[in-house]
Amino acid sequence: MSAPHGEDGSARAIVAAFLANLGIALAKLVAFAVTGAASMLAEGVHSIADTGNQGLLFIGGRRARKPATGAHPFGYGRERYFWSFVVAVVLFTAGGLFAVMEGVEKIRRPHELESWPWAVGTLLVAFALETSSLRTAVRESRELKGELGWPDFIRHAKGPELPVVLLEDTGALLGLAFALLGIGLAELTGNPRFDAVGSLAIGALLGCIAFVLAVETKSLLIGEAAAPAVQAAICAALEGTPGVDRVIHLRTEHLGPDDLLVVAKIAVDGAMPLSETAVVIDRAEAAVRAGVPEARLMFLEPDVDRRMPTRETGGRS
Q: How many helices (H) and strands (E) does the chain have?
A: 10, 3
Q: Which of 47, 42, 39 is nearest to 19 (CA)?
A: 47
Residue 311: the pLDDT is: 46
Which pLDDT does position 44 carry in this prediction?
A: 82
pLDDT, tens digit (0-9, with 9 covering 90-100), for 164-173: 888 888 988 9
Q: What pLDDT does residue 3 have?
A: 45
Average pLDDT over residues 40-65: 84
Residue 301: φ, ψ to 5°: -110, 115
User: pLDDT grade, residue 156 (50/70/90)?
Assistant: confident
Q: What is the percentage of the chain residues whose pLDDT exceeds 70? A: 93
- At residue 2, the pLDDT reads 40
Does residue 1 carry a pLDDT above 50?
no
Q: Which of 260 and 98 is assigned the larger pLDDT? A: 260
Residues 6+ apart with CB under 8 A from 36: 111, 112, 113, 114
The DSSP letter of residue 114 is: -
Q: What is the pLDDT of residues 263-317, one digit of tens each?
A: 999 999 888 888 899 999 999 999 999 999 999 999 999 988 766 444 444 444 3
Question: Domains of the chain (ranges plus CATH)?
Answer: 5-221 (1.20.1510.10), 228-304 (3.30.70.1350)
Chain segment 198-216, per-residue pLDDT in tens: 889 988 998 898 898 888 8
Over the chain, what is the mean pLDDT? 85
Give the pLDDT score at 240: 94
12-36 pLDDT, tens digit per residue, is: 788 888 888 888 888 888 888 888 8
Cα-Cα-Cα-Cα torsion 77, 80, 85, 90, nearest 10 degrees, comes to: 150
Q: Of 76, 83, 86, which is closest to residue 259 (Cα–Cα)? A: 76
pLDDT (0 to 100) of residue 314: 46
What integer pLDDT is reported at residue 89 of this predicted model?
Answer: 84
pLDDT on residue 258:
85
Cβ proximity of 282 and 266 under 8 Å? no
- Say what the pLDDT of residue 9 is: 61
